[in-house]
Amino acid sequence: MTDTMTDILLLTIGSFGILIALTFVGEVLRAREEPGFVNPVLDTYMTRVQSWWGMVAFVGFALIMGRIGVMVLFAFASFAALRDFLTLTTKAQADHLSLALAFFAVLPLQYVFVGLGWDGLYAIFIPVYAFLLLPIVSALRGNPDRFLMRVAETQWALMIAVFCVSHVPALMNLEIDGYGDRSLLLVAFMVMVVQFGDLLEYFFGRRIGRRKIAPGLSPKTWEGLLCGVGCAMLIGALLSWITPFGVFGAMAMAGVASLVGMFGSLVVASIKRDRGVKDWSHLIPGQGGFVDQLDSVIFAAPIFYHLTKYFYT
Amino acid sequence: MKFLRQFAARIVGQSIRIFARAITAVRADWKGIEPVPRQRVYFANHTSNADMPMIWSVLPPSMRRTVRPVAAADYWLKNKVRAFVGPEVFNCVLVDRRPEVKDKPMDKIIAALDEGSSLIIFPEGNRNMTDDPLLPFKAGLYNMGVARPDVDLVPTWVANLTEIMPKGEIIPLPLICTVTFGEPIHVREGESKDDFLKRASNALLAQRPEVRT
């Protein structure tokens, strides 16, 4: 067994350990409830823990399968996220072909380019080629009604759900001196610091949060945000052994990723507010759709990718 | 042989359900009723041939076994595949809409209700190809409501199918389809046919999910 594989197994087992602890706490609380009384907060918590079990199992399994596993997992995540997003955007029948191309051509091609490691192409494929070509396809059908809205929203969907999400597996393409084939672990590192940062932000926000960051938009508070980012940095330091960054580098990278991710979920909340929905969809019990669950990872991924590329390769 | 056909029908049914879930992530919104086995007539809007399989796919297994879609015989008996899928997979109540046939559609529908089955019907009669959200309802729903007043008539809105597969397009888009079940209605005492059909139509329109665009 290679070193990388041992580390991945350790991380997966560690995450399962945390989940067992969380499930145990929930079950104990549930057992202590009065019979016949249902606590909605505890119920929500337990549904979320169940979803996390699924996610850890999926991501752990994908990482153990290696490069291909991670590619396939995130390609499916992109598909689900794009479906959530495009269900809510402005569209007309004139966009049918360009939307079909977005699903069945742009999305698979982006992942093929990531898989082949053509970093020059996957960095510009959606921001340049899809951006210019899909509106042409829509314009050819000759319906100018709300045209700018339609093409802009489709492009946003592709940027968020495909371009940004594909930068998670793209981390595996980074060739870092002295890090060898361990770049798979960067995926685990980024996903873990961002997700745990989110979770702790939520926890501390509930406990000690006072000043809202964006009142009327989201319950997120400055106190929660600071604690969340701080915890993400601590977790980054604890996990620094799987990264090429060193302890302080890992803290800085974890902090940046977590901060960008938290502000990213504010952006996603604004989009949801604009469309008058609470969640993108109902695919993941207790968490809404894929975009709801991945919002912070989505925003963090390209930044994390480019910072790593700039400073460490 | 009969056993084999039943087995094949189950496999095909499951495949249709999994396919619908995988592509359109179809889901049910139980707004006005609980997903419990009770005799009901689900009346739904009809924009695409996929409407009925979508409703059928979101019903839990126990309800799916007792539900029978009311469908046109001329469509489902056109070839061997359809003649298998319609009557055996979906367990359709096939009705002949031609006026000259002897067994009247309503007799078959009432017979199915008396067996205890729930029904899925499309009261517009035909697929809605217009820009209006609903076509005027045919009398069938009213006749059912009068003949079997105990049965719940449940407005069922199938959303987004027009965007998933607009008329004239070949490739379906994998957008999310939602099936919304509203509060049941019944024919009120002394209510005229037109009044009831108007009320039923409004009850169905009220289930349309609001999305600001």
- B171 in contact with A, Cβ within 8 Å: yes
Put simply, the answer to whether A281 touches B166 (Cβ < 8 Å) is no
C-alpha span between A223 and A211 (Å, rounded): 7
Give the distance, in angstroms, between the CA of residue B22 and the centroid of all CA atoms in the same chain.
Answer: 21
Q: Which residues of A touch B160 (CB under 8 A)?
A: 87
Location of structure tokens 């076509």: B135
For the residues B44-49, what does the mean pLDDT come to? Answer: 88
CA distances from A59 to A7, A40, A145, A301 (A): 14, 28, 42, 16
Does residue A61 sit in the same domain as residue A95?
Answer: no
pLDDT for B171: 86
Does residue A198 sit in the same domain as residue A227?
Answer: yes
Put simply, the answer to whether B176 touches A100 (Cβ < 8 Å) is no
Of all residues in chain A, the one with the smallest CA distance to B177 is A87
pLDDT for A283: 66
> Which distant-in-sequence residues (6+ apart) come within 8 Å of B5 by Cβ?
B84, B88
Put simply, the answer to whether A275 touches B25 (Cβ < 8 Å) is no
Classify residue A183 by its DSSP letter. G
Put simply, the answer to whether A83 touches B174 (Cβ < 8 Å) is yes
pLDDT for B62: 87
Interface list for A 73-132 with B (CB within 8 A) = 79-80, 83-84, 86-91, 93, 96-97, 99-100, 103-104
Count the domains in chain A: 2
Q: Which helix (H) or strand (E) holds B17?
A: helix B2-24
Of all residues in chain B, the one with the smallest CA distance to A93 is B166
Put simply, the answer to whether B212 touches A276 (Cβ < 8 Å) is yes
pLDDT for A1: 54
Which among A15, A34, A65 is the end of a domain? A65
Does residue A126 sit in the same domain as residue A169?
Answer: yes
Location of structure tokens 């799916």: B64
CB of A86 closer than 8 Å to CB of A159 = no
pLDDT for B201: 93
pLDDT for A54: 84
C-alpha span between B19 and B115 (Å, rounded): 30
A-B contacts at Cβ under 8 angstroms:
42
Does residue A56 sit in the same domain as residue A85?
Answer: no
Classify residue A286 by its DSSP letter. T
pLDDT for A286: 62
Does residue A171 sit in the same domain as residue A56?
Answer: no
Which among A49, A65, A81 is the end of a domain? A65
Put simply, the answer to whether A100 touches B25 (Cβ < 8 Å) is no
- A147 in contact with B, Cβ within 8 Å: no
Q: What's the domain range around A21?
A: 1-65
Does residue A225 sit in the same domain as residue A119?
Answer: yes
Name the E strands within B49-112: 67-72, 93-95
Of all residues in chain B, the one with the smallest CA distance to A88 is B211
pLDDT for A234: 95
Residues of chain A falling short of pLDDT 70: 1, 282-287
CA distances from A292 to A229, A271, B163 (A): 19, 11, 23
The mean predicted confidence, pLDDT, of chain A is 89
Does residue A162 sit in the same domain as residue A291?
Answer: yes
- B210 in contact with A, Cβ within 8 Å: yes
Put simply, the answer to whether A104 touches B166 (Cβ < 8 Å) is no
Question: What pTM value is reported for the model?
Answer: 0.84
Segments making up each domain of chain B, as ranges: 2-205
Report the residue from B25, B166, B211 with minimal CB separation from A281.
Answer: B25
How far apart are the CA of A165 and the nearest CA of chain B, in angstroms? 18
Does residue A42 sit in the same domain as residue A155?
Answer: no
C-alpha span between B181 and B156 (Å, rounded): 5
Interface list for A 243-282 with B (CB within 8 A) = 274-277, 281-282
Residue whose C-alpha is closest to residue A11's, from A72, A61, A76, A69: A61
pLDDT for A287: 66
How far apart are the CA of B33 and the nearest CA of chain A, in angstroms? 19
Can you tell me the ipTM of this complex? 0.76
Does residue A37 sit in the same domain as residue A170?
Answer: no
Put simply, the answer to whether B176 touches A87 (Cβ < 8 Å) is yes
Which among A14, A36, A65 is the end of a domain? A65
Put simply, the answer to whether B210 touches A100 (Cβ < 8 Å) is no
B151-169 tens-digit pLDDT: 999 999 998 887 888 877 8
CB of B155 closer than 8 Å to CB of B43 = yes
3-class DSSP state of B124: coil
3-state secondary structure A64-110: HHCHHHHHHHHHHHHHHHHHHHHHHCCCCHHHHHHHHHHHHHHHHHH
Does residue A156 sit in the same domain as residue A266?
Answer: yes
For the residues B100-120, what does the mean pLDDT come to? Answer: 86
For the residues B61-76, what does the mean pLDDT come to? Answer: 89
One DSSP character per residue, A119-160 reads HHHHTTIIIIIIHHHHHHHHHHT---TTHHHHHHHHHHHHII
CB of B53 closer than 8 Å to CB of A111 = no
Pull the structure tokens for residue A178: 């002295």
Does residue A122 sit in the same domain as residue A140?
Answer: yes
Of all residues in chain B, the one with the smallest CA distance to A90 is B213
> Which distant-in-sequence residues (6+ apart) come within 8 Å of B198 by Cβ?
none
Identify from B21, B169, B210, B213 which residue to disrupt to test chain A contact, counting A C-beta atoms within 10 A and taking the largest count: B213
Q: Give the pairing type, strands B178-181 and B152-159.
A: antiparallel
Query: Residues A276-305, buried b or exposed e (16+ Cβ, 10 A)?
Result: ebeebbbbbebbbbbbbbbbbbbbbbbbbb
Of all residues in chain A, the one with the smallest CA distance to B22 is A80
Domain B2-205 sits in CATH at: 3.40.1130.10
Does residue A53 sit in the same domain as residue A123?
Answer: no
